[in-house]
Amino acid sequence: MAADRSPRDPSAQPMTVPRFRAAKAKGHKLSVLTAYDHLWAGIVDAAGVDAILVGDTVSMVVQGHSTTLPVTLDEIIYHTEMVVRGTRHALVIADMPFLSFQVSPSQAIENAGRILKESGAAAVKLEGGVSQAETIRALTVADIPVMGHIGMKPQSIHSLGGMGKIQRDEDGLVQDAKAAEAAGAFAIVLELIPQAIAARITRELTIPTIGIGAGPGCDGQVLVLYDMLGLTGEFHPRFLKKFADLRSEALEAMTRYVAEVQAGTFPGPEHSH
Which one of the listed residues 191, 204, 234, 252 is annotated catalytic? Answer: 191
Nearest in space to 93 (alpha carbons), one of 106, 102, 84, 103: 84
Q: What is the pLDDT of residues 64-99, one digit of tens each?
A: 999 999 999 999 999 999 999 999 999 999 999 999
CA 211, 34, 70, 72 torsion-angle sign: negative
Q: Residue 218: enclosing H or E segment and its boundaries?
A: none
Known catalytic membership, residue 191: yes
CA distances (Å), 189 to each of 32, 128, 209, in order? Answer: 10, 10, 6
Q: How far, in whole angstroms, is CA 83 from its chain's centroid? A: 12
Number of DSSP helices (H) and strands (E) in the chain, helices first = 11, 8
Residue type, 255: T
Q: What is the pLDDT of residues 129-187, one digit of tens each?
A: 999 999 999 999 999 999 999 999 999 999 888 887 889 999 999 999 999 999 999 99
∠ CA 154-197-187, nearest 5°, is 60
Q: What is the pLDDT of residues 212-227, one digit of tens each?
A: 999 999 999 999 999 9
